[in-house]
Structure 1
Amino acid sequence: MGRQRTLTLVIAGAVVLGAGGAAVAARSGGDRSAAAPRPSAGSVAPERVVLPGKPGDPAVVTDSDKVRPPDAPTYNAIDTTFVQMMIVHHGQAIEMAKLAPERAGDARLRALAARIGAAQAPEMRWMQGWLRDRRLPAGAGHDHGTMPGMQSDADMAALAGLDGAAFDRKFVAMMTAHHRGAIRMAGDVLGGGSDQQLRELANEMAVEQGSEIRRMAQLAIR
């Protein structure tokens, strides 16, 4: 009887120890679902932030914890070269357009020149801001005379000395070549650039200037 009582106590002790071991295992990771952290009732909600939209699009409001910085720069050398050169390219187109109000003989051409200036001046300012935001220089030793469609100083001086129908003919010839060059440059950034907003601008630019080329052809100025 004494030996049976002793055996019973040993078995009972083993059961208790087994249960205790299971509890320790749970606390040390054996049951990870039981140990998973839970947010406290007093946790602070993420702040709301405003993300600027693309050109022409509204801004977006979202939680700060959903905003992630880019893993790498969003632009490359093709983007940078395009912006640096296109600023100068636009500047010449605007200079040509400014001559039209006083010198063009065709009212339709004066209206088209005003449209060209109104479209390219904001684009040029946007590109200047693009460089500033990235702390990039406005120019990097590019030979602007080799840009597609860029008109020579002699042609610019000749245009400034004309008026009436003679001005109209030369303006259409020069601006058509200028626009075609810009479309070629836009194709470069669309094919190899990596900045999404810049690609969208280049696409819009190519479409707009293609439309203006067709409009100048429709004027049938001789």
Structure 2
Amino acid sequence: MNRHHWTVLATAGVALLSAGAIAFVAWAPGDTPDSTPTTPPVRVVLPGRPGESAAVSDSDQVRAPDGSAYNSIDVAFAQMMIAHHAQAIEMAGLATGRAGAAEVRNLAGRISAAQQPEIDVLRSWLRDRGKPESDPGHDHAGMPGMQTASAIGELTAARGADFDRRFVTMMIAHHRGAQQMAGDLLRGGTDQRLSEIANEMAVEQGSEIRRLDDLSLNG
């Protein structure tokens, strides 16, 4: 079966997946390919190499080239966390020349140092699976903890104690959002490495939230 024939199968009760696989969908009597199926995809056909037979797998257990299993929740987490971390790094970078307290500048530096390597790992994870770094269908602005453009603008314009106050408040909210996203991944993802990353991330950002809380209490 070659890729040019897959679209024909889609009209016979088969849905195409972005990974180049085919998920079989069950339509109830009276359903059509243009209607919403009554049951979700449950099996996936993964094309083999030329001359090899296709393999069938559970839709939430697609195999990566290294043999690890992953699903759409894993992919969405990696894509969205790249954008989420990027905003945290943007906010942390503003502390240089704006923060009034040395403690805020130091913590901002630690945040950047911790999150950039995580972005690199997530990019590599997506690249190894042939996935794009971002999905236009994802609403990055609506992710938990993401700060609005106007809030970032106000932070950029702030100086001294005003910057410190805004930075602490915004970064606590941002970190809590990342923890929520990590929890969603741990509940629904299947990739073991990503689960480890999400767990480490939640612990690390919890520690930073406590430091930020201490700064806000002392400010």
Aligned-residue offset at 1:193: 0.5
Aligned-residue offset at 1:221: 4.7
Which residue of 99, 116, 120 maps to 2:115? Answer: 120
Looking at structure 2, the residues matched to 142 and 153 of structure 1 have their Cα atoms a distance apart, in angstroms, of 17
Looking at structure 2, the residues matched to 212 and 177 of structure 1 have their Cα atoms a distance apart, in angstroms, of 12
**Residues 152-171 of structure 1: pairs in structure 2 closer than 5 A:** 152-171=148-167
Aligned-residue offset at 1:195: 0.4
State the match for 2:144 in structure 1: 148
Partner SS state of residue 92, structure 2: helix
Which one has a larger percent helix, Structure 1 or Structure 2? 1
| 1:84 aligned onto 2:67 | no
Looking at structure 1, the residues matched to 127 and 163 of structure 2 have their Cα atoms a distance apart, in angstroms, of 37
Q: Structure 2: any 5+ residue segments left out of the alignment? A: 1-56, 64-68
Runs of 4+ in 1 over 4 A off after TM superposition: none
Q: TM-score, normalised by structure 2?
A: 0.68
Looking at structure 2, the residues matched to 163 and 125 of structure 1 have their Cα atoms a distance apart, in angstroms, of 31
Letter in 2 for 1:184: Q
Partner SS state of residue 96, structure 2: helix
| 1:186 aligned onto 2:182 | yes
Which one has a larger percent strand, Structure 1 or Structure 2? 2
The structure, 1 or 2, with the larger RCO (C-alpha pairs under 8 Å, 6+ apart) is 1
Alignment identity in percent?
Answer: 59
Partner SS state of residue 104, structure 1: coil
Letter in 2 for 1:136: K
Aligned-residue offset at 1:184: 0.1
Report if the CA contact (8 A) 2:62-2:71 is conserved: no
State the match for 2:106 in structure 1: 111
Q: Which has the larger radius of gyration?
A: 1
Looking at structure 1, the residues matched to 147 and 213 of structure 2 have their Cα atoms a distance apart, in angstroms, of 19
Q: What is the RMSD of the two structures over their aligned residues, measured on CA atoms?
A: 1.4
Looking at structure 2, the residues matched to 217 and 90 of structure 1 have their Cα atoms a distance apart, in angstroms, of 20
Aligned-residue offset at 1:138: 1.4
Aligned-residue offset at 1:77: 0.6
Aligned-residue offset at 1:88: 0.2
User: Residues 81 and 72 (structure 1 numbering): CA distance in 2 closer, same or farther, change over 3 Å?
Assistant: closer
Aligned-residue offset at 1:72: 4.7
Report if the CA contact (8 A) 1:168-1:221 is conserved: no
Looking at structure 2, the residues matched to 212 and 76 of structure 1 have their Cα atoms a distance apart, in angstroms, of 30
Question: Would you say how many aligned residue pairs link Structure 1 and Structure 2?
Answer: 153
Q: TM-score, normalised by structure 1?
A: 0.67
